[in-house]
Amino acid sequence: MKVVVLTGAGISAESGVPTFRDADGLWEGHRVEDVATPEAYDAQPMVVHRFYDARRTALAAVEPNPAHLALARLEEHLGDDLLLVTQNIDDLHERGGSTRVLHMHGELRSALCRACRSRVPWTEDLGDFPPCPRCGVAELRPDVVWFGEVPYGMDEIQDALAEADLFVSIGTSGAVYPAAGFVQYAGRNGARTLELNLVPSEGTHLFDEARHGPAGQLVPAWADELLR
């Protein structure tokens, strides 16, 4: 049984990580779509650094929740038959025990050098323009995929969706592409599709089945069902 799981901000909500749409997409009065763009970074790098430095710092104060732990248990049983794709840039899947996580929108704990294009592990602030540990040039930016930028791992994701028997979308509003289109691609390639979300997402009608409620309850129950 080949499974592809896609997670969004909703899976980290019960860990205390705010989602994009709960704060109606605002941060310090900025719309996320206005901060998470290369144009915003070029125009006002310090505002964008403050946005990501604050979220990177906040990682220390949150813990994985039962939904993250259930997906790690699923990986233990399914191994390479499970591909976990996340839109999240937090490290809660890893801290919950998942070892193979595809961060299609990048990660807070990584920095990207605009000079040498290296992706380097990073846990400190970037707002003081530290030099790249690889090339020494002070051009490190958050290693995050902004609006208008190309997500990571699209080939691997598309291959997995084409082979999947089951596609499960957890805690995402289905508002952002290409992630929001994965359900149709998987379904067209013969996968059964399931949505686990607090409330019906924008694409809920595209799924064979949808269950609504907190991920911390729905995901462990679904994992138990699958592993039975």
Residues whose CB is less than 8 angstroms from the CB of residue 145 and which lie 6 or more positions away in sequence, other chains included: 104, 105, 106, 151, 152
Binding mask 77-116 for ligand BV8 (x = CB under 6 A): ----------x-x---------------x-----------
Residue 176 within binding range of ligand BV8, rule CB under 6 A: yes
| Residues 178-197, interacting with ligand BV8 (CB under 6 A) | 178-179, 197
Residue 13 within binding range of ligand BV8, rule CB under 6 A: yes
Residue 14 within binding range of ligand BV8, rule CB under 6 A: yes
19-27, 41-49, 68-76, 128-136 -> range binding ligand BV8 (CB under 6 A): 19-27
Contact (Cβ atoms closer than 8 angstroms) between residue 27 and residue 136: no
In the three-class reduction of DSSP (H, G, I as helix; E, B as strand; rest coil), residue 137 is classed as: coil
Residues whose CB is less than 8 angstroms from the CB of residue 197 and which lie 6 or more positions away in sequence, other chains included: 10, 169, 170, 171, 172, 204, 210, 212, 215
| Contacting residue, 191, 215, 222, 223, with ligand BV8 by CB under 6 A | 215
Contact (Cβ atoms closer than 8 angstroms) between residue 89 and residue 9: no
49 is catalytic: no
What residues act catalytically? 105
Binding site for ligand BV8 (CB under 6 A): 8-10, 13-14, 19-21, 33, 36, 87, 89, 105, 144-151, 154, 171-173, 175-179, 197-199, 201, 214-215
